[in-house]
Amino acid sequence: MRTVLALMNRNRKLYFKDKGMLFTSMITPVILIVLYATFLAKVFRDSFTAAIPNMITISDKLINGTVAAQLTASLMAVSCITVTFCVNLTMVQDKANGTRKDFNVSPVSKGKIYLGYFLSTVANSLMVNGLALILCLGYLLKMGWYMNAADVLWVLFDMILLVLFGSTLSSIISFSLTTQGQLSAVGTIVSAGYGFICGAYMPISNFGSGLQKVLSYLPSTYATSLIKNHMLHGVFREMERKHYPDEMVEVIRDTLDCNPVFHGNVVSVNQMIGIMIGSIAVFGIIYYFVTLLPEGEGRR
């Protein structure tokens, strides 16, 4: 275990030493929150107000708080995944600059080497996304704060789950890459496409029924819905406190993807947590077996 921790710390130091990579990872959440607030706020606001009956009056603060919670949940859902691909660059750099050749002739096993990569990816991603979470909470405080301490802790738990999910996924994909250009290309594709398939850019409830059924098989759908449920929990609690009709609140929950459906059944929050833990375990097992492949076979 001491060897794994030494490798993890070595990878973490390389990450901090590369100022360009560090700056890119740190600035990504800032850029995302600016873009989300600028371009998606109106879309989310229109989607939310469309679910409110004309005879019901909701304060601007509650509307702004709801939109801000949806925005920040969407941002965290994307950031926790995409940042892991930036952070995981060390694995590819070692192959590109020949460092792995030195590791391969050392007495350290491949399993420990790749576990060190994985743990450093998790640790650095948690740091970057922890900063993103602080920015998101500050944005919520400005726009409309309805969360309590338990809600914040649940969101923190969600962030950890999503980072673990993203780290296992990026580790599997990065294993076969041998140049920084390849990882940059993969990172660009993930950054551009993941937000759509996970329902961050546009609620999945706005998609066609066929696409909704397809996306219901992806764990990313429940990852986004999970963090939305906890980010918006205080908002729904405030609506209940003000005795808004249950039917209206339920429609809003459906519109904001808080009630994902799988084969006609609504997936509960506990089930979403189970799906995420199960997905992390499955991807972790896949990563383990992938690392057992010979190096030459892994690069094909």
Q: What is the mean pLDDT of residues 17-43?
A: 70
At 266, is the secondary structure helix, strand, or coil? strand
Q: In sequence order, which residues have a C-beta less than 8 Å from that of residue 276 and are 6 or more positions away?
A: 161, 162, 165, 219, 222, 223, 226
Q: How many whole angstroms from its chain centre is CA 213?
A: 21
d(CA 194, CA 300): 24
d(CA 159, CA 153): 10
Chain position carrying tokens 């100022």? 19
pLDDT at 297: 40
pTM attached to this predicted model: 0.87
pLDDT band at 26 (very low <50, low <70, confident <90, very high): low
Q: At what angle are helices 60-87 and 41-49 packed, to 10 degrees? A: 130
Chain position carrying tokens 């084969």? 263
CA within 13 Å, CB half, 258: 21
Q: Give tens-digit pLDDT for 86-138.
A: 888 778 887 877 777 777 777 778 888 889 889 999 999 998 899 889 989 99
Please report, for the chain, the start and end positions of each structural domain, with discontinuous segments joined by +: 2-298
pLDDT at 300: 38
pLDDT at 19: 66
Q: What is the mean pLDDT of residues 265-270?
A: 94
- As a whole number, the mean pLDDT across the chain is 84
Task: Give residue 45's identity as a one-letter amino acid code.
Answer: R
The helix (H) or strand (E) run that includes residue 261 is strand 261-262
Indicate the pairing of strand 265-266 with strand 261-262: antiparallel
Q: How far is CA 158 from CA 112, 130, 183, 262, in A?
A: 27, 12, 26, 21
Mark out the alpha helices in 146-293 (DSSP H runs): 149-175, 180-197, 209-215, 219-231, 233-241, 246-255, 269-291
